[in-house]
């Protein structure tokens, strides 16, 4: 099956700085990579996703990059704000496991005002 | 759309009692997932359904756990008897399966279970 690793497990940044979270996957057939944000006491919410036919996708202050050769993808948050503080999860879905998503272990991001 | 709805949001019970968690998926979605989240193990997939049929329940911890989906708009996860180690947040998620490919999963707010 797929194995998704996520780093770092915790990340603290000053407000206004950038934050980067990285994930690697093992199944070369994986073709869809969503990112979820989980705020305290809430369920994970989709914030951005990328498919294997593109290398980068951006939505305002959030961007995701994908390197299929190296089998890793990253979440970039620019101009961080205190409300970006949350736990972020990456996930992958593969052709061979089309009905399952595999989640990373999460990154707890703290933005210091 | 109201999103995925779960009830109750919080449940406190005593060891040995039966616990039933409920989920209403997003209308039109045909796949439903139950996850358990703990600090130690992160997000664990317990079971998922496609078109109301259980597809993979290999994540269900033991026979004390059971799940049903009697129709497209309702699912239950039951723990009987409950144990303190079952304390966790249980999430339900739904998505649309088309052509054998699972689209994005949307999560409910979760049920926070505490077994004393």
Per-residue pLDDT of chain A (113 residues; tens, 9 = 90+): 788 999 999 999 999 999 999 999 998 888 899 999 999 989 999 999 999 888 999 999 999 999 999 999 999 999 999 999 999 999 998 766 656 789 999 999 999 99
Count the alpha carbons within 13 Å of B8 in the hemisphere toward its beta carbon: 9
CB contact under 8 A, B104 and A45: no
In Å, how far is A38's CA from the nearest CA of chain B?
Answer: 10
> How many beta-carbon contacts under 8 Å exist across A and B?
46
Which residues touch A4 (CB under 8 Å, ≥6 apart)? A23, A24, A25, A26, A90, A91, A92, A102, A103, A104
Closest CA to B24 of B2, B40, B42, B46: B2
| CA separation for the pair B96, A27 (Å, rounded) | 22
Closest Cβ opposite residue B102 in set A36, A46, A93: A93
| CA separation for the pair B74, A104 (Å, rounded) | 28
DSSP code for B25 = P
Mind listing the pLDDT tens digit for each residue in B18-75? 999 999 999 999 999 999 999 888 899 999 999 999 988 888 988 999 999 999 999 9
List the single best residue of A5, A44, A96, A102 to mutate versus B (max B Cβ within 10 A).
A44
Closest Cβ opposite residue A99 in set B55, B93, B109: B55
CA nearest to B32 within chain A: A99
Contacts with B102 from chain A: Cβ below 8 Å: 93, 98-101
Residue A60 DSSP SS3: coil
DSSP code for A46 = E
Token pair for residue A61? 């202050």
CB contact under 8 A, B107 and A49: no
CB contact under 8 A, B31 and A99: yes
């Amino acid at each position: 099956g797929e194995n998704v690793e996520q780093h770092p497990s915790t990340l603290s940044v000053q407000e206004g700085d950038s934050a980067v979270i990285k994930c690697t996957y093992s199944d070369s057939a994986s073709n869809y990579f969503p990112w979820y944000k989980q705020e305290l006491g809430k369920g994970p919410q989709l914030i951005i996703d990328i498919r294997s036919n593109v290398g980068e996708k951006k939505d305002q202050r959030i961007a995701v990059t994908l390197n299929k050769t190296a089998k890793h993808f990253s979440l970039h948050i620019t101009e961080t704000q205190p409300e970006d503080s949350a736990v972020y999860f990456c996930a992958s879905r593969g052709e061979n496991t089309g009905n399952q998503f595999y989640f990373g272990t999460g990154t707890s991001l703290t933005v210091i005002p | 759309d109201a999103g995925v709805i779960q009830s109750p949001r919080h449940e406190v019970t005593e060891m040995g009692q039966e616990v039933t968690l409920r989920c209403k998926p997003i209308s039109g979605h045909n796949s439903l997932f139950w996850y358990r989240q703990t600090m130690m193990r992160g997000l664990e997939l317990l079971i998922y359904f496609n078109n109301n049929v259980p597809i993979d329940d290999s994540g269900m911890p033991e026979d004390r756990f059971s799940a049903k989906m009697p129709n497209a708009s309702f699912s239950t996860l039951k723990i009987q008897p409950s144990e303190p180690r079952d304390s966790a947040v249980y999430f339900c998620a739904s998505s649309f399966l088309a052509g054998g490919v699972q689209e994005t999963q949307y999560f409910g707010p979760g049920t926070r279970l505490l077994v004393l």
